[in-house]
Amino acid sequence: MAHKTIAQLSNELQTKKISSVELTQLFLDRIKRFDKQLNSFITVTEEQALSDAKKADEERSKGNAHPLTGIPFAQKDIFCTKDIKTSCGSKILDNFISPYDATVVTRFKESNTVLLGKTNMDEFAMGSSNETSFYGTVKNPWDLERVPGGSSGGSAAAVAAYLTPGATGTDTGGSIRQPAGFCGISGIKPTYGRVSRYGMIAFASSLDQGGPMARSAEDLALLLNVMAGVDEKDSTSIDKPVPDYTQTLNNSLNGLRIGLPKEFFESGLDNEIATLIQSAIQEFKKLGATIHEITLPNSGLSIPAYYVIAPAECSSNLARYDGVRFGYRCNEPKDLEDLYKRSRSEGFGNEVKRRIMIGTYALSAGYYDTYYLKAQKIRGLIRQDFVDAFKNVDIILSPTSPTTAFKLGEKTSDPISMYLSDMYTIAVNLAGLPGLSIPAGFIKNLPVGLQLVGNFFDEARLLNAAHQYQQVTDWHTRTPEGF
Amino acid sequence: MEWETVIGLEIHAQLLTNSKIFSGASTAFGAEPNTQACAVDLGFPGVLPVLNEEAVRMAIKFGLGVGAEISKKSVFARKNYFYPDLPKGYQISQFELPVVGKGHIDVQLENGDVKRIHITRAHLEEDAGKSLHEDFNGLTGIDLNRAGTPLLEIVSEPDMRSAKEAVAYLKAIHSLVRYLEICDGNMQEGSFRCDANVSVRPKGQSKLGTRAELKNINSFRFVERAINFEIERQITLIESGGTVTQETRLYDPNKHETRSMRSKEEANDYRYFPDPDLLPLVITEDMIAAIKDDLPELPAQKRQRFMEQYSLSAYDADVLVSNRHMAIYFETVVKESGAQPKLVTNWVTGDLLGALNKENLDITESPISTAQLSKLIERISDNTISGKIAKTIFESLWNQEGNVDEIIEKKGLKQVTDNSAIEALIDKILADNPGHVTEYRSGKDKLFGFFVGQAMKASGGKMNPQLLNELLKQKLAQKA
């Protein structure tokens, strides 16, 4: 039962093959059994889950069933949950209990999903391996010596190991897609503005976007149906009707124009991954798609631009963690400056500090034009590359990451090589476009992710293409040994 | 050497919105500390700002009031610095693209001249909370009720040449924002605050001297005193061979001095950048047009109209229009009483304003309604009472002792207009003072006042003065 998709579980609940309480207990038991080795959860909300499940069963028996009613679910620990610890993977928020629910959390509550707990993540979502978490590294279920990716590594590992049927993630530079790829699951980063950021702890506000992670494109569609939509509490959310993403899953791909950016198939890409991506392209051809080479001439500038803009925004977003009103405060501060300095230097980890310092520098008088403004101009060029490309194609296809999951500790001392693991995903955030990752094969028993990028608000088309691919392949149904 | 003073003001006006500029929390003053701050105002993790449209409308009103260009697109930026009463570690403000561009206001100076002061810009921003350093035994208390209150920062050009001009400008803006009903102008509660940039230069020099920024000057009186102190300080410093350093100085009203807070070198690098949580503020022509249609008559226009329509002096008109509600009060009384506008002006700007100021009341809180003051003036005009008696009735009205006619009736204050009664009284006074009568008749005209005084005294002031004068003159002439 635990290995079923959300769509299947929804059906089991509807046909009364199992109750939500039973299903919830099943997943809680699995978390107890497996999460000691994986470390994918920061907080498990057992009591809350069982009472949510009881309520969901009651609602279902009253006939108030939403497709997600009673489905166990996990929230990345970046989404604020009322009365439940929200740490954002940081010591500085280790004691933080939010007084309110994030809009995304409210929406899941309203459809009566069951909250199993809060998943582990890189500290403040800054990382590509989950190794920056204050709560310790998450292990990849496919190989416990390897990273699950990051920053939504806890969500990815938990879904891959069947500790939850689905989870939320957030994606600032690839944080949903890269861990989905590393763990062999499906994940979508929607268009910037599609999902409310209210209550989603900010890393880089102009890039952050929440999205679902699950085991199939169909499940992503069910989850995105709940998450998407304008929110008056988020001025950057966009007031545009949300289609029912499940309705278009079975559309034909006949005539779908798929673009391959030549820059993404050049240097740095693992040969075996390139071969797997070629086979996926063949599958899409068989499904009726046409393949076109395209160019994204400025994509090589994505990483430098990103590592100015994201740290700049983070240096300001993280100023509120000052030991004054909430969160970690150092012992016995001598004076105000001591309170700030020690609370922040003891409360933040190294990667967060590195980015705060880079960002502070980039915004400083005399450097603003050279770094921040220039990076914003590059961002405009990158966005324009995509706009031009989408004049001729419907979807852009590439690998999600240049390699499969790397070993724990392999890149921790070399931030630049860590940053490069997001080279195919970051441009998508800079442009604000939707992108998803689905499994497309294995190399030495490690999953390989395939990235599909769509035009603004074209999530339905991405999910449709991914679902069709998953009808003719079974990569997404593979189970890591022992789980 | 002759010195010239150069002054520019930065005014912070708290806007009279019901809720904060980026959250739904109330902006009411005086609540228990930290009871009017929601998660957004407290800068909790994950919260986002949502712009209050009313604050934007108020900024536009101001812009139109100073004839300024309203930016079709303006941008909110983050001003980053650490301070305990700044919850997010940055203030949301406008930096490169403010909502209100260049404008101006014409200011009435004491000598009657009008001077045009140019406004550089006005922008929207959020207020910080308050740090309370007393009563916490070496600790600091933080009250975040004020955090997120909308402010309009109004920046002037360095157009003022004396402390008096600066005060006149400040008063003009103060009056304008209250006319527009966008700020209550309360300087004591800090809803209307001002910083002054002050520098001096040798007369005739075009290059500006180094300026000092004066803070904590939160009354018209302090503004004038602080600026004058600072001018003296700078001149003395330069004349004794020193140089002025660019710095922020705090005014201490108790010691009547300014002292250094921080120098330019110690100043923060605010690392401004556009706030990614807020979209650019776009203002349409339609919105501006709708607000324009809704604008009240502004002080300058009203002053002009009062001088023409009511034949008032510039001074009288200025006093009347300085407060929109006083102007309304005045016009209502003129209309209701049908009396001479000058007479009404004297009552409103004299007795009424004096009494209000004494008890620190605004005209909207006046215990005497326009209807009562109108009736009072009407009773002077129709000769029921004399102007002198009217002052007594005014006091009774102020003390809520009834309406005008009741008080006249109850206290028997009705003027004596019966010729025979007056004549009888005159006869008695003349008979009682034969010596004075003789002196008067021998040419000592000044004694006329003596007889008037005696008659008024004897009648308890109720004698109609015109009648008395007339009859007294007749009687004194008759028996010559």
CB under 8 Å to A83, separation ≥6 — which residues?
A: A97, A98
Per DSSP, what are the bridge partners of residue A438?
A450
What phi and psi values does residue B388 have, to the nearest 5 degrees? -70, -45
Q: How large is the average pLDDT for residues B295-318?
A: 92
Nearest to B299 by CA among B58, B8, B9, B66: B66
Task: Report B:78-97 residues touching A (Cβ under 8 A).
Answer: 78, 80, 82, 84, 87-90
What is the distance between the terminal CA atoms of chain A, rounded to a whole angstrom? 13
Q: Kindly list the distances between the CA atom of residue A410 and the CA atoms of A135, A307, A352, in Å, as whole numbers in the listed order.
A: 19, 21, 19
Contact yes or no for B115/B165 (Cβ under 8 A): yes
The confidence band for B448, taking pLDDT boundaries of 50, 70 and 90, is confident
Amino acid of residue A44: V
Nearest to A139 by CA among A117, A167, A161: A161
Q: How far is A231 from chain B (nearest CA, A)?
A: 11
Peptide bond into B313 cis (omega under 30): no
What phi and psi values does residue A304 have, to the nearest 5 degrees? -60, -40
| A368 interfaces chain B, CB cutoff of 8 Å | yes
Domains of chain A in sequence order = 1-483 (3.90.1300.10)
- Three-state DSSP at A118 gives strand
Per DSSP, what are the bridge partners of residue A76?
A119
| B273 interfaces chain A, CB cutoff of 8 Å | yes
Torsion of CA A120, A125, A130, A136, to 10 degrees: -50
Asked whether the CA dihedral A46, A52, A55, A56 is positive or negative, the reply is negative
| A313 interfaces chain B, CB cutoff of 8 Å | yes
Number of helical H runs and strand E runs in chain B: 16, 15
Rounded percentage of chain B residues whose pLDDT exceeds 90: 67
A175 is catalytic: yes
Contact A236 B277 (CB under 8 A): yes
Q: Kindly list the distances between the CA atom of residue B201 and the CA atoms of B119, B196, B242, B249, B251, in Å, as whole numbers in the listed order.
A: 22, 16, 14, 19, 22
A40 is catalytic: no
Q: What is the pLDDT of residues B238-276, one digit of tens each?
A: 999 999 999 999 999 888 888 998 877 677 799 999 999
Kindly report the number of other CB atoms within 10 A of residue A458's CB atom: 17
Q: What is the pLDDT of residues A109-118, one digit of tens each?
A: 999 999 999 9
Q: What is the pLDDT of residues A45-55, one digit of tens each?
A: 999 999 999 99
User: Residue B427 and residue A364: Cα distance in Å, rounded?
Assistant: 94
Nearest to A140 by CA among A408, A351, A399: A408
Say which of A19, A76, A90, A139 is annotated catalytic: A76
Task: Return the residue of A nearest to B281 by Cα.
Answer: A235
Nearest to A193 by CA among A168, A244, A220, A229: A229
Amino acid of residue A411: K
Contact yes or no for B120/B157 (Cβ under 8 A): yes
pTM, to two decimals = 0.89
Contact B276 A235 (CB under 8 A): no
Task: Return the residue of B nearest to A81 by Cα.
Answer: B46
Residue B135 has pLDDT above 80, yes or no: no
What tens-digit pLDDT sequence spans chain A (483 residues)?
899 999 999 999 999 999 999 999 999 999 999 999 999 999 999 999 999 999 999 999 999 889 999 999 999 999 999 999 999 999 999 999 999 999 999 999 999 999 999 999 999 999 999 999 999 999 999 999 999 999 999 999 999 999 999 999 999 999 999 999 999 999 999 999 999 999 999 999 999 999 999 999 999 999 999 999 999 999 999 999 999 999 999 999 999 999 999 999 987 788 999 999 999 999 999 999 999 999 999 999 999 999 999 999 999 999 999 999 999 999 999 999 999 999 999 999 999 999 999 999 999 988 999 999 999 999 999 999 999 999 999 999 999 999 999 999 998 888 888 888 889 999 999 999 999 999 999 999 999 999 999 999 999 999 999 999 999 999 999 999 999
For residue B90, the chain A residues in CB contact (below 8 A) are 316, 319
Domains of chain B in sequence order = 3-289 (no CATH), 297-411 (no CATH), 419-478 (1.10.10.410)
- A280 sits in which H/E element: helix A271-286
The pLDDT of residue A415 = 82
Per DSSP, what are the bridge partners of residue A213?
A167, A187
User: Residue B429 and residue B452: Cα distance in Å, rounded?
Assistant: 10
Say which of A90, A111, A152, A175 is annotated catalytic: A175
Task: Return the residue of A nearest to B23 by Cα.
Answer: A233
Residue-level length of chain A: 483
Contact B271 A99 (CB under 8 A): no
CB under 8 Å to B299, separation ≥6 — which residues?
A: B172, B175, B176, B179, B321, B322, B324
Q: How large is the average pLDDT for residues B39-55?
A: 97
- Three-state DSSP at B249 gives strand
A76 is catalytic: yes
Contact yes or no for A418/A412 (Cβ under 8 A): yes
Per DSSP, what are the bridge partners of residue B215?
B250
Q: What is the pLDDT of residues B360-413, one digit of tens each?
A: 898 999 999 999 999 999 988 887 888 888 888 899 899 988 888 888 888 777
Q: What is the pLDDT of residues B406-447, one digit of tens each?
A: 888 887 777 766 777 788 888 888 888 888 888 888 888 888
Integer-rounded Cα Rg, in Å, for chain A is 21
CB under 8 Å to A182, separation ≥6 — which residues?
A: A140, A146, A147, A148, A149, A153, A156, A401, A404, A405, A446, A447, A449
Amino acid of residue B238: I
For residue B48, the chain A residues in CB contact (below 8 A) are 197-198, 233-236
Say which of A98, A151, A186, A196 is annotated catalytic: A151
Contact yes or no for A128/A149 (Cβ under 8 A): yes
Query: Would you state the structure tokens that stand for residue A13, as one six-digit string?
Result: 């609940």
Q: How far is B163 from chain A (nearest CA, A)?
A: 34
Amino acid of residue A297: P
Do the strands B212-215 and B247-252 form a parallel or antiparallel pair, or are they unpaired?
parallel
- A205, A208, A235, A369: best to mutate for the B interface, most B CBs within 10 A: A235
The confidence band for B479, taking pLDDT boundaries of 50, 70 and 90, is low
The pLDDT of residue A296 = 97
- Chain centroid offset of residue A201 CA: 14
For residue A201, the chain B residues in CB contact (below 8 A) are 45-46
Nearest to A275 by CA among A472, A471, A448: A448
Per DSSP, what are the bridge partners of residue B197?
B8, B213
- B10 sits in which H/E element: strand B3-14
Residue-level length of chain B: 480
Query: Would you state the structure tokens that stand for residue B198, as one six-digit string?
Result: 């002050």
Helical pair B434-441 and B448-459, crossing angle rounded to 10 deg: 140
Least-confidence region, from B294-298, B361-365, B470-474:
B470-474
- Three-state DSSP at A441 gives strand
For residue B37, the chain A residues in CB contact (below 8 A) are none
Kindly report the number of other CB atoms within 10 A of residue B405's CB atom: 14
